[in-house]
Amino acid sequence: MNKIGSSETIRKTTFNFNEYAKNTVSHKSSINKDFLEWFIGFSEGDGSFIVSKGRLFFIINQKEEKILHDIRTNLGFGKVSVYKSYSRYIVADKTGIDRLISIFNGNLILSKTNTRFLHWLTARNLYSTLPIEYIKRGEEFCFNNNGWLSGFIDAEGCFNASKIKSNRYSLGFRVRLRFILDQKDELFIFTKLKHFLESGFITDRSDMDKTPPLQNMFRFTTSSIRGLLLLQEYLHNFPLRTFKKVSFVRFYSLYYYIKNRPSLPWQGKVLKRVENLLNRIQVDDKENKKGDEMDQLQSIDPSTH
């Protein structure tokens, strides 16, 4: 690993895992670049860099236990603990922390994640005779050639379907499909996403009446046929890994029926299938929101686990 210098190393944000390849667990003969890119995106959505009582921790809380075991298996280190209503992936040993540093350093995209990581890395260097240099992310970044966005969607995105009343249709309604991504701050990432999907709009969801105030909260939404097709193509190349992959399949099954509604009338078995898909997507969306709220509420002291 690089020793700390007087200035930060600056490079473009192409993902580089050379240091990690030198620092993997002994039984891992190779690294999975697609997984590591996904893992970084997922961690930027759901991961926590914690310093507590002079110790460092990396934690991901999830309602879905399986994905945490998948992370543990792919990385080969860390621990998964199961609690009453959620599960936790945690890395607390010094060797594991240094392995994570070699994954994240220079590869993080979000500004706030880089700030938290730098604080984490600085704390690590205080207790080590071999400090590691912080590598600042570059400004150039795109989605189409890596799995970062797939991981970020697994952490923060949702696939939404709803009935909209419309007299244009014999059943009195149409179905609206929306891909939605919420994030505090980081407006630049939504601007890039809008360009990538060639569609969508960004809304400011800040609410000063909330306690504490909700500031700089943004939402990206697209219901464009073009945008949804581009998203489908991307997620075909870089698949989702959580239960959201099931929501994604249902979402695009419903898209098929919407697209072919003129030639495949919504009646009988077809209508029943559409209704079932719509209901399941709505249930998935509610469960996803509950999971996100639960992840944010877990505040167990990591030093006790």
Instruction: Assess contact for 41 and 147: CB atoms under 8 A.
Output: yes
- Where do runs of H (alpha helix) occur along the chain? 18-21, 33-46, 65-75, 94-104, 111-126, 148-156, 187-197, 225-237, 244-259, 268-297
How much is the mean pLDDT over the chain? Answer: 88
- In order of their start, the domains of the chain are 9-141 (3.10.28.10), 152-295 (3.10.28.10)
Q: Are 159 and 285 in contact (CB under 8 A)?
A: yes
Q: Once rounded to an integer, what is the mean pLDDT over residues 120-135?
A: 94
List pLDDT tens digits, range 21-39: 998 998 887 899 999 999 9
pLDDT reported for residue 2: 38
CB 68 within 8 A of CB 60: yes
CA 244 → CA 29, 36, 100, 183, distances in Å? 30, 19, 25, 18
pTM: predicted TM-score of the whole model, two decimal places: 0.88
Residue 4 has pLDDT above 50, yes or no: no
Averaged over 249-268, what is the pLDDT? Answer: 93
- Provide the pLDDT for residue 54: 86
Question: Which pLDDT score is estimated for 47?
Answer: 97
